[in-house]
């Protein structure tokens, strides 16, 4: 039985988790130092948000989540993205804000989640997070870059290095890496999923460009805590090494 209140709540954390993965089948259930990846993500989310649910299309993930005491909801296999999966949950569980926490980012820090949620509530807008871009990630297309304006809004996201350093990088400019975390006000979420994918989004393979294209502001919370998306067995090894370095196993 679900422990999430049936009445409308303020904030709901949603962790989209798909079993199928070309490069790492069964990715959410991969074990990382004694815990599945989905359990690590869930516990980090619960440290920041009272109500959290895993949104999945696979009964194996539902079973695993419920075995460690978490909440899980089945969502249609036709969902094309984590945002669509979150919107499917939003039809069942009503909230004022929905937080999309990537199911393949076991290093996402609770403080990053908390501060990004706070930003969204203050601005009454979509919010996401970013951290300092490591030199090693400058030419890594998996590390998405973001440029922000003076008011903290995202100007653009890209897999390429932005901005282009025409005459070298200014001493006071800090390149930023986007982290896979989004907070949506209820109305913004439902509006976003009704919009068609744009050519810009499809070119970069970055869903958030759909929001910018249609004039939906995205505010960016800066954090000192990095996170990485797990797509391959090599990424799992990186996560394990980082946890051991920080004695977080």
Q: Quick check: 1 pLDDT over 70?
A: no
Which has more confidence, 171 or 238? Answer: 238
Residue closest to 238 by CA, chosen among 102, 61, 104: 104
Predicted local confidence at residue 248, as pLDDT: 56
Give the residue carrying structure tokens 């990004």. 116
pLDDT digits (tens, 9 = 90+) for 144-203: 999 999 999 999 999 999 988 887 767 678 899 999 999 999 999 999 999 999 999 999
Predicted local confidence at residue 249, as pLDDT: 55
Contacts of residue 164, Cβ cutoff 8 Å, sequence gap at least 6: none
**CB contact at 8 A, 242 and 106:** no
In this predicted structure, which of 122-131, 185-194, 238-247 has the lowest mean pLDDT? 238-247
Q: Quick check: 247 pLDDT over 80?
A: no
**CB contact at 8 A, 116 and 198:** no
Contacts of residue 120, Cβ cutoff 8 Å, sequence gap at least 6: 97, 126, 127, 183, 184, 185, 219
Hey, what domains does the chain have and what are their CATH numbers?
9-243 (3.90.550.10)
pLDDT band at 2 (very low <50, low <70, confident <90, very high): confident
Q: Quick check: 22 pLDDT over 80?
A: no
Give the E-state strand segments of 33-189 in sequence order.
35-36, 52-56, 72-74, 95-101, 126-132, 145-148, 154-158, 176-185
Q: Quick check: 110 pLDDT over 60?
A: yes
């Amino acid at each position: 039985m679900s422990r999430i209140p049936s009445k409308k709540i303020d904030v709901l954390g949603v962790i989209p988790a798909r079993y199928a993965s070309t490069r790492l089948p069964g990715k959410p259930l991969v074990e990382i130092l004694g815990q599945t990846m989905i359990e690590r993500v869930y516990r980090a989310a619960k440290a920041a948000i009272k109500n959290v649910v895993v949104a999945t299309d696979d009964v194996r993930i539902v079973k695993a989540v419920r075995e460690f005491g978490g909440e899980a909801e089945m969502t249609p296999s036709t969902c094309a993205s984590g945002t669509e999966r979150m919107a499917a949950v939003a039809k069942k569980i009503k909230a004022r804000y929905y937080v999309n926490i990537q199911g393949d980012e076991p290093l996402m820090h609770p403080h990053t989640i908390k501060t990004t949620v706070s930003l969204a509530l203050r601005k009454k807008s979509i919010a996401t997070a970013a951290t300092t871009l490591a030199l090693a990630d400058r030419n890594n297309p998996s590390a998405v870059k973001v440029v922000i304006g003076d008011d903290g809004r995202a100007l653009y996201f890209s897999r390429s290095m932005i901005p282009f350093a025409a005459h070298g990088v200014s001493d006071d400019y800090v390149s930023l890496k986007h982290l896979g975390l989004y907070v949506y006000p209820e109305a913004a979420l439902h509006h976003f999923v009704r919009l068609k994918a744009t050519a810009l989004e499809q070119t970069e393979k970055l869903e958030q460009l759909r929001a910018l294209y249609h004039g939906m502001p995205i505010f960016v919370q800066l954090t000192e805590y990095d996170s990485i998306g797990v797509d391959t067995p090599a990424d799992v090894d990186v996560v394990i090494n980082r946890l051991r370095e920080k004695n977080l196993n």
